[in-house]
Amino acid sequence: MFNPMYSEHADEYAAAIRDNSYNAFYERPSLLALLPELQNKAVLDLACGPGVYSEYLLSQGARVTAVDCSPEMVALVQQRLGDAVKCYEQDLAQGLPREADAAYDLAICPLAIHYLEDLSVLFRDVRRVLKPNGLFVFSTHHPFVDYPFSPSGNYFLTEKIVDEWDTLGRPVQVEFYRRPLTAILQPLLEAGLTLVGICEGKPDPKMEQSDPKNFRKLSTEPGFLFVKCRMM
Ligand SMILES: C[S@@+](CC[C@H](N)C(=O)[O-])C[C@H]1O[C@@H](n2cnc3c(N)ncnc32)[C@H](O)[C@@H]1O
């Protein structure tokens, strides 16, 4: 997909998400609230971006492997965390061919599955690499938020959307897939993962001061969807 924000603008993206409203005060606290105890856990950070999550996981005592399809993001993680994290390039549409079976206690995938047209390959491989009782926690665009951008007007289709976001303080083109709720949850269940938690996002109270408009918006309507599953 054409997403220059994560390749040629990787540095700017890393700086933008450090303390912005949507990532720092909404997405990260909502996803972190779903994570288990991390001390000594083997954790896979899928679509790791510049490594904000990997850094947090390490700080909590986890052993971390991080992957991303963008060489620029992989380089940023290596710069930021060095040998403390194993980080390599991987297109998640191809699954996790370099990972062994039953190797991880936890896999996270924040804000990335909407870049994949077909979720079944990734979800099956996440199940394969998790230990029994291992957890998979991810966030993605809430289907109701993307639906108004549907080119067809048919909620039940999975469709590519081309849009512009101002995450970097100016419009940058992004491409992603919107899909109905069923098309997010059904491939998880078909992969053999059991849904154990769901959340529609909760802004950090600190955002009320820093960004009252978005605090009100995200306190009264969804932005992202947060899903927690277990490998039984
Ligand atoms: C919105 S950023 C999220 C980064 C990180 N998870 C976070 O929340 O801070 C999306 C990331 O997904 C990565 N990505 C997009 N498509 C991907 C794919 N097919 N395989 C692996 N990574 C992908 C991008 O390179 C980018 O780093």
Q: Report pLDDT digits (tens) over 54-109.
A: 999 999 999 999 999 999 999 999 999 999 999 999 999 999 999 999 999 999 99
Question: Does the CB atom of residue 53 touch ligand 1 within 6 A?
Answer: yes
Q: Please report the pLDDT score of residue 1 as a whole number.
A: 82
The 10 Å Cβ neighbour count of residue 97 is 7
Residue nearest to atom 24 of ligand 1 (CA): 6
Helix, coil or strand: residue 186: helix
On average, the pLDDT of the chain sits at 97
Question: Does the CB atom of residue 70 touch ligand 1 within 6 A?
Answer: yes
Span 139-187, pLDDT tens digits = 999 999 999 999 999 999 999 999 999 999 999 999 999 999 999 999 9
Helix, coil or strand: residue 51: coil
Question: Does the CB atom of residue 112 touch ligand 1 within 6 A?
Answer: yes
Question: Does the CB atom of residue 116 touch ligand 1 within 6 A?
Answer: yes
Look up the CATH number of domain 4-142+180-231. Answer: 3.40.50.150
CA of 139 to the centre of ligand 1 (A): 11
Helix, coil or strand: residue 34: coil
Residue spans per domain, the chain: 4-142+180-231
pTM above 0.85, yes or no: yes
- Round to whole Å and give the CA distance between 87 and 15: 20
| Atom of ligand 1 lying closest to residue 28 CA | 8
Span 2-39, pLDDT tens digits = 898 999 999 999 999 999 999 999 999 999 999 999 99
Closest by CA to 225, choosing from 190, 182, 166, 165, is 182
Residue 52's H or E segment, with its range, is helix 52-59
The 10 Å Cβ neighbour count of residue 102 is 11
> What is the pLDDT confidence band of residue 136, given thresholds at 50, 70 and 90?
very high
Q: Please report the pLDDT score of residue 201 as a whole number.
A: 97
- Please report which residue ranges of 67-180 form alpha helices under DSSP H: 71-81, 120-129, 143-146
Which residues have a Cβ under 8 Å from the Cβ of 121 and sit 6 or more positions away? Answer: 93, 94, 95
Q: Please report the pLDDT score of residue 2 as a whole number.
A: 82
CA of 69 to the centre of ligand 1 (A): 7
- Round to whole Å and give the CA distance between 61 and 153: 46
Mean predicted confidence (pLDDT) in 199-221? 97
Q: Determine the residue type at 82.
A: G
CB 36 within 8 A of CB 61: no
Structure tokens at 21: 């409203």
Question: Does the CB atom of residue 43 touch ligand 1 within 6 A?
Answer: no
**Is 90 exceeded by the pLDDT of residue 119?**
yes
CB 203 within 8 A of CB 213: no
